[in-house]
Each structure stands twice: as structure tokens, then as C-alpha cells.
Amino acid sequence: MTAVPPSAGATALSVATWNINSVRMRQGIVTRFLETEAPDVLCLQETKCGDGQFPTAAFRRIGYDHMALNGGKGGWHGVAIVSRLPLADIANRSFCGKGDPRHVTATVLVGGHRVRLHNFYVPAGGDEPDGTVNPKFAHKMDFLAEMAAWLPHAQADGATLVVGDLNVAPYETDVWSHKALIKVVSHTPEECAALEKARIDGGWVDLTRRFVPMDERIYTWWSYRAKDWRAADKGRRLDHVWATPDLADRALAVRILKDARDWPRPSDHVPVVAHFALP
């Protein structure tokens, strides 16, 4: 589908998602990203800090005054929404009855529009793709199943985005080697089918793949283990932006900021930014 061209009178909106792998440790590159790319909204995952430890003041100093935080008890997981635009109806949901901070939601108020935003950090799933011997993998599959059942109801709010580290690379060209990774957690057929069920059952549009042909390899994550990650380029697309069809029809572009993987003390993920022109 052809992207909607910007038009006179349209309201611009940009939303970024980034697994930051400790927002306090990487506050400097988050600030750099906000100052240089200036998205309207940034959704962070794996913040690894309680709400009281979140660097709120630092981001407010550069104009990001509105925040929705779910850091739980701190130390593990954690999600946050940092915004230049007002946020309303802030909430979060506990999946699988565990109470761990893996979801936060808010309504973004922009130019008379209301865009509902759901920010997720899906469990990684451990190393062994067998829920009978690996409780972490069982948790991941249960989480994805609950997402699939719950997300269709999330569209009751109208124009809606689902973003975050969904920890699954669903297509063959979302990984550096389908053959090498088909039995590796994040790209097993079981996980890929579960994530696709969540997307398709809810009628969500995978915005990145709307702009990038399916035969083109794209990644958002590169392991810390690679001595030269860029030369090896053994990546996976774990970070996603899904939209309701009405909002997808207003999308202009989706950008993956690969160069952020080279920034000082980087996350192993890079930001993904979606741009919209609202009528």
C-alpha cells in the first residue's frame, strides 16, 4: 500500500519504541535520541527501575513532560511512555497473573485526536523452547495466548497502536538465518504462530512490513556477544509497531535507527519510529 502523503492541515504524530535495557544506565543515549530525533512519544521497555527511580526530571528538562510508568518493584522488566504530548487514561494490565511490569497504556492527545497506545515487553522465554522443561518458555507462550485473547477488545478505544519488544521475529526475513534459528527461542514455529495469531485475530497491521518488502531482511536487535555486530549482522526483528487499519492508513513511514547500536554503552535493541499524518 502507498503511504499517505502529508497534506496541508494534517496533524503530525511520531511514536518510537525502544528496549533500552536499563533506562538509568543508558539515560545519556535516551536523551540523545530525544534531542536529535524528537519523537512525540517514546515507549521504553526493560527500564529496570521502579517508578520512583525513573529519570523523570532529566526528560522533563528537554520538553518531555508527560509520562506513564510501570516499573513494578524495580530491578527487572519495566515499561514506560515518555511524551511531549498530554497523556490520558493511564493504566496497565498484569498478564498471566504474575504482576510483573510488562504493559502500560495511555491515550495520546494530539491536535484534537485521541490515539490509544499499548506498550508491551513480552517475556524472552529463556533458552529451551519447551514449556514442559522450561517455565520461562511456558510463561512466554501463556503471555502470547493471553495477548491474542485480550487485544481485540483494546480496539474499542478507536485508533490504537501496539508497540514494544514482542520478543518474536515472526517471518523468515526477520532473522539472519531462518534455517539456523528455527529451533532457537524467538523464532520457533510455535512462537511465530502465536504472535501472528495475536496480530491477525485483532486485525492489527504490521506497520514495519507495510513499508519494507517481505523479501528484505530487517532487524532491530543484535547480540552483545558479537565482537563486530555490524560486520556479522546476525540480527533479529524483535521490536514491532502494530496499528488499527484506520491508523495504518495514515502512516507515512517506519524507520529503524540501526546506527544507535553504535552509540556509547548501547542497548542491544535500536529504536523503531513510526510517523503518521492525522486528518
- pLDDT value at residue 72: 87
In this predicted structure, what is the pLDDT of residue 8?
A: 58
- Domains of the chain by range and CATH? 12-278 (3.60.10.10)
pLDDT at 147: 96
Q: How far apart (Å, rounded) are the C-alpha atoms in residues 34 and 271?
A: 11
Q: What is the dihedral of CA 68, 73, 78, 84, to 10 degrees?
A: 20
The answer to whether 47 touches 22, Cβ cutoff 8 Å, is yes
Instruction: Fill in the DSSP letter of residue 2.
Output: P
CA distance 171 to 236: 10
Residues in CB range of 142: below 8 A, 6 or more apart = 96
What residues contact residue 225 under an 8 Å CB cut-off, 6+ apart? none
Residue holding cell 518510537?
16
Length of the chain (residues): 279
CA distance 176 to 168: 13
Three-state secondary-structure class, residue 59:
helix
User: Beta 103-110 vs 41-45: how paired, if at all?
Assistant: unpaired
Report pLDDT for 1. Answer: 36
Give the per-residue pLDDT at 142: 98
Q: Where are the alpha helices (DSSP H) in 202-274?
A: 207-211, 229-232, 245-248
Distance of CA 139 to the CA centre of its chain: 19
Task: Read off the pTM.
Answer: 0.96
pLDDT tens track, the chain, 279 positions? 334 455 557 899 999 999 999 999 999 999 999 999 999 999 999 999 999 999 999 999 999 999 999 998 878 999 999 999 999 999 999 999 999 999 999 999 999 999 999 999 999 999 999 999 999 999 999 999 999 999 998 888 899 999 999 999 999 999 999 999 999 999 999 999 999 999 999 999 999 999 999 999 999 999 999 889 999 999 999 999 999 999 999 999 999 999 999 999 999 999 999 999 999
